[in-house]
């Protein structure tokens, strides 16, 4: 794999770390330089500058690289599994901190907090995702799963498959959310139709779909708040 090529580049790495000491907000760093430094901790000996360029060239942006799952990163031929796992750990830590760390407790009955929390989870995400949340016995929101979409303008809810996956979680109450990375938070007609199908399928399984959020660049849309959930019941 490409990560095995190149020497230690000790002098270059030292200079990059000194740059960071002088610029802790990364204001003078390009995305590939930030990724290059992340890769220092994934790959002890390699030209990570060239590797960072290759990864961003393949996927688009730093966020796009970090959003790839482990299998995709390995299949690219650019990273070993061990290095891919290490890189994804940085992504996981960033998400953990963005959510407020382990202390974040979101009560489902507090709708403004739910919307703010879900909107924050999609901040900086440039690819489509569908996230599934369950409600535990304390009436608290739990992020249960993340499914990736295929394009950059809309997400296709594979309704039958999704309903089966949600029902298999064994929870009575669920919330789903998906994003429009480069659009507004307004739902498309397909979103409304697929939500109607999903809610009916889940009702048949004894599962209540409490809300469906659509997250745009600057706002979040709630089916419940818009009165659409009542229409779908």
Nearest residue to 166 via CA among 175, 154, 153: 175
What is the secondary structure of 83-139 as a DSSP string? HHHHHHHHHHHHHHHHTTGGG---BTT-HHHHHHHHHHHTTT--S-EEEEEEE-TTS
* Residue 153 pLDDT: 44
Least confident of 22-36, 85-99, 196-210: 85-99
Pair 127, 148: CB distance under 8 Å: yes
pTM (2 d.p.): 0.60
Domains of the chain: 2-97 (no CATH), 102-232 (3.40.140.10)
* Residue 100 pLDDT: 56
What single-letter DSSP state applies at residue 188?
P
- State how far the alpha carbon of 220 is from the alpha carbons of 105, 114, 119, 215, in Å: 20, 11, 6, 4
Report helix angle 31-40 to 48-59, nearest 10.
Answer: 130
Pair 198, 209: CB distance under 8 Å: yes
152 has a pLDDT exceeding 70:
no
Quote the tokens at residue 2: 């490409």
Express each pLDDT in 43-86 by its tens digit.
Answer: 987 889 999 999 999 999 998 898 888 999 999 999 999 999 99
Express each pLDDT in 174-197 by its tens digit.
Answer: 999 998 887 777 888 888 888 989
Quote the tokens at residue 179: 């994003």
Distance CA 1, CA 202 (A): 45
* Residue 104 pLDDT: 60
Q: How many residues does the chain have?
A: 233
Count Cα atoms within 13 angstroms, Cβ side, for 127.
16
In the predicted model, what is the mean pLDDT of the chain?
84
Please indicate whether residue 204 or residue 159 has the higher confidence score (pLDDT).
204
């Amino acid at each position: 794999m490409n990560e095995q090529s190149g020497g230690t580049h000790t002098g270059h790495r030292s200079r990059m770390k000194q740059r960071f000491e002088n610029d802790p907000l990364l204001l003078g760093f390009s995305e590939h330089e930030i990724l290059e430094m992340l890769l220092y901790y994934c790959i002890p000996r390699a030209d990570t500058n060239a590797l960072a360029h290759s990864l961003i060239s393949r996927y688009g942006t730093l966020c796009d690289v970090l959003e790839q799952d482990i299998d995709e990163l390995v299949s690219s031929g650019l990273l070993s599994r061990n290095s891919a796992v290490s890189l994804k750990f940085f992504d996981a830590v960033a998400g953990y901190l963005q959510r407020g760390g382990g202390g974040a407790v979101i009560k489902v009955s507090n709708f403004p907090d739910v919307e703010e929390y879900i909107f924050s989870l999609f901040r900086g995400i440039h690819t489509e995702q569908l996230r599934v949340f369950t409600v535990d016995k304390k009436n608290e929101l739990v992020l249960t799963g993340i499914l990736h979409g295929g394009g950059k303008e809309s997400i296709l809810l594979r309704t039958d498959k999704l309903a089966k996956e949600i029902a298999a979680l064994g929870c009575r109450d669920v919330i789903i959310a998906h994003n429009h990375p480069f659009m507004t938070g307004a739902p498309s007609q397909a979103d409304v139709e697929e939500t109607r199908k999903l809610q009916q399928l889940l009702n048949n399984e004894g599962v209540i779909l409490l809300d469906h959020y659509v997250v745009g660049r600057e706002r979040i849309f709630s089916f419940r708040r818009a009165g659409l959930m009542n229409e779908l019941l």
